[in-house]
């Protein structure tokens, strides 16, 4: 696959570190000088921009958490006057006020460049026709990728989320070759398509760029088989600008971080200590080139690991593993740590189980109860009772074996688990803790 910008994507390590250090110093100075929040935070931690002499000095700075961004709603984190802000986006903000991010004209240029890199690494070229199924609106995902596709010169079909029938119609009539969206929407789309008798193998669709939520290996395989495409994964988050933080190359081992614009650290989520290369911990990101809203040491709550090993694709950019789980999505059930992705893996290992599920946790007379709801689609349904009951038992046994927890497996009708913009809700915690 073509490397979009070899000058940066294949930069020598020593030169990259030099570039990062110089950009880091500027970014910290900008934050300290123009952001009330960072001025106070650095003062409180007893560090000054002048204390940064090497990259490892970044560890002296305090972390930024989601609460800081919420507390400064809406524009308190901006370091430029509003007349330099050309666009704002916000997080979905399911609880309380959303997190608002702002962009200058230069920020948008860089964002587009970073997204173009990951699209190119995934294999998008000017010959492609790209179905954008992310929501256009306040959410960053659709926009970042939209402009990247245009910059590459491919044809963007800005269909947005919902209207599944229309996506399927255009996929057939427009000759769509690339799908961009969440993995759960891809599964849903393929289900509806199968129901309508569409044979994806006969369509030109060949590539999927997935983001917005974690994708398990099994889920990728299922999507690849169902839609006859190659699935690739990319990583980003609205707080640091949106998609474009990291993307997967054709080698498929890890996602290359756009290190000239983000400095990644892996920390122990409990102690906050920076961990050595190769260890699994929480990803912490520092923006290096943001004008409108620099973010220093942002705790992503995503678990991954980092490697600087050279990649066979020729890029020198470091790689992160596929993001395993959000640490804040972790459930503690009867003292056992449970990640939704573990449950997802279990369901996939039981043949044919579709990914629409919901983990429900309740507390009855002081004891946690774990229930896993599974939507029964045509692939899972049997017109006889025993196979359904046996499937319930098989899943329960596997949950017991993997998590050490007794779970009640509840079979539910298709569509009964709530979906928001194609993103399935995974966890319903009804305990009052």
Partner 1 sequence: MSVRQLSVFMENKAGRLADITAAVATAGSNIRGFVVSDTAEFGIIRFVLSRFDEGVAALRNAGFTTAESEVIVIDLSEDRPGRLAAVLRELSDVGVNVEYAYSLVDRLLAISVADANSAEKLIAQRNIRVLSQADIDSL
In our burial notation (b when 16+ CB lie closer than 10 A, e otherwise), range 286-323 reads bbbbbbbbbbbbbbbbbbbbbeeeebebebbbbbbebb
* Sole binder of partner 1 in the list 44, 413, 432, 433 (CB under 8 A): 413
# residues contacting partner 1 (CB under 8 A): 19
233 within 8 A of 216, measured Cβ to Cβ: no
Q: Sort 15 into a burial class: Cβ within 10 Å, 0-12 / 13-18 / 19+.
A: exposed
CB of 431 to partner 1, least distance (A): 21
* Sole binder of partner 1 in the list 385, 401, 432, 433 (CB under 8 A): 385
Told to check if 411 binds partner 1 by CB under 8 A, we report yes
Please say which residue, 12 or 413, places its beta carbon nearer to partner 1: 413
Please say which residue, 226 or 290, places its beta carbon nearer to partner 1: 226
CB within 8 Å of 51: residues ≥ 6 apart: 57, 60
* Sole binder of partner 1 in the list 48, 389, 397, 418 (CB under 8 A): 389
**Residue list 363-382, contact with partner 1 (CB under 8 A):** 376-378, 380-382
CB within 8 Å of 306: residues ≥ 6 apart: 257, 264, 266, 277, 278, 283, 318, 319, 320
Element (H, E) at 20: helix 13-34
Query: Which has the closest alpha carbon to 297: 40, 33, 65, 80?
Result: 65
Told to check if 388 binds partner 1 by CB under 8 A, we report yes
Please say which residue, 279 or 418, places its beta carbon nearer to partner 1: 418
CB of 226 to partner 1, least distance (A): 17
CB of 376 to partner 1, least distance (A): 5
Rg of the chain taking only CA atoms, in angstroms: 22
Please say which residue, 138 or 388, places its beta carbon nearer to partner 1: 388
Told to check if 414 binds partner 1 by CB under 8 A, we report yes
Told to check if 412 binds partner 1 by CB under 8 A, we report yes
Told to check if 270 binds partner 1 by CB under 8 A, we report no
CB of 195 to partner 1, least distance (A): 7
Question: Is the bond leading into 74 cis (omega within 30 degrees of zero)?
Answer: yes
Query: Which has the closest alpha carbon to 339: 280, 276, 263, 286?
Result: 280
* Sole binder of partner 1 in the list 48, 105, 410, 419 (CB under 8 A): 410
Please say which residue, 166 or 195, places its beta carbon nearer to partner 1: 195
Q: 202 to each of 171, 199, 207, 215, 227, how far by Cα in Å?
A: 11, 6, 14, 25, 10
Torsion angle of C-alpha atoms 84, 89, 94, 95, degrees rounded to 10: -10
Residues 194-223, one symbol each (x = binds partner 1 by CB under 8 A, - = not), give: -x----------------------------
Determine how many CB atoms are found less than 10 A away from the CB of residue 217. 11
**Residue list 106-145, contact with partner 1 (CB under 8 A):** none
Query: Which has the closest alpha carbon to 183: 129, 136, 235?
Result: 235
Q: 198 to each of 201, 232, 371, 375, how far by Cα in Å?
A: 9, 23, 34, 22
* Sole binder of partner 1 in the list 337, 349, 416, 420 (CB under 8 A): 416
Told to check if 419 binds partner 1 by CB under 8 A, we report no
Please say which residue, 22 or 382, places its beta carbon nearer to partner 1: 382
Told to check if 163 binds partner 1 by CB under 8 A, we report no
Told to check if 39 binds partner 1 by CB under 8 A, we report no
Tell me if residue 87 falls in helix, strand or coil. Answer: strand
CB of 222 to partner 1, least distance (A): 18
Q: Which stretch binds partner 1 (CB under 8 A): 2-10, 167-175, 222-230, 384-392?
A: 384-392
Determine how many CB atoms are found less than 10 A away from the CB of residue 363. 14
CB of 359 to partner 1, least distance (A): 17
Q: Which residues bind partner 1 (CB under 8 A)?
A: 195, 376-378, 380-385, 388-389, 410-416
């Amino acid at each position: 696959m073509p490397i979009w910008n070899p000058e940066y994507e294949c930069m020598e390590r020593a030169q990259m570190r030099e570039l990062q250090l110089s950009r880091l110093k500027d970014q910290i100075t900008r934050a300290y000088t123009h952001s009330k929040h960072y001025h106070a935070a650095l003062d409180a931690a007893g560090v000054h921009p002048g204390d940064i002499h090497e990259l490892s000095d970044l560890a002296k700075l305090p972390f930024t958490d989601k609460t800081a961004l919420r507390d400064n709603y809406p524009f308190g984190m901006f370091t430029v006057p509003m007349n330099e802000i050309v666009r704002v986006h916000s997080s979905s903000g399911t609880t309380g006020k959303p997190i608002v991010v702002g962009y200058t004209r230069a920020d948008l240029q860089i964002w587009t460049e970073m997204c173009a890199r990951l699209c190119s690494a995934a294999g998008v070229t000017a010959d492609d026709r790209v179905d954008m199924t992310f929501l256009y609106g306040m959410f960053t995902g659709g926009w970042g990728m939209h402009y990247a596709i245009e910059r590459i010169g491919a044809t963007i079909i800005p269909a947005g989320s919902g209207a599944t029938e229309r996506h399927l119609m255009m996929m057939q009539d427009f000759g769509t070759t690339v799908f961009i969206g969440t993995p759960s929407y891809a599964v849903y789309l393929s289900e509806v398509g199968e129901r309508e008798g569409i044979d994806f193998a006969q369509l030109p669709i060949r590539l999927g760029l997935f983001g917005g939520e974690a994708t398990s290996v099994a889920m990728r395989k299922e999507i690849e088989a169902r839609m006859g495409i190659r699935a690739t994964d990319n990583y980003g988050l609205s707080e640091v600008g949106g998609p474009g933080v990291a993307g997967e190359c054709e080698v498929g081992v890890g996602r290359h971080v756009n290190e000239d614009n983000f400095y990644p650290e892996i920390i122990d989520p409990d102690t906050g200590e920076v961990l050595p290369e190769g260890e699994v911990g929480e990803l912490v990101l520092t923006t290096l080139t943001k004008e409108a809203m620099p973010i220093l040491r942002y705790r992503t709550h995503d678990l991954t690991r980092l490697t600087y090993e050279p990649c066979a694709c020729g890029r020198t950019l470091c790689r992160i593993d596929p993001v395993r789980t959000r640490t804040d999505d972790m459930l503690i059930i009867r003292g056992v740590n449970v990640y939704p992705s573990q449950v997802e893996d279990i369901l996939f290992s039981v043949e044919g189980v579709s990914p629409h599920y919901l983990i429900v946790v309740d507390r009855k007379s002081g004891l946690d109860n774990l229930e896993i709801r599974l939507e029964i689609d045509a692939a899972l349904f049997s017109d006889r009772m025993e196979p359904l009951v046996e499937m319930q038992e098989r899943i329960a046994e596997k949950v017991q074996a993997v998590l050490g927890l007794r779970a009640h497996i509840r079979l539910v009708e298709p569509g009964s688990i709530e979906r928001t913009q194609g993103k399935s809700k995974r966890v319903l915690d009804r305990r009052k803790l």
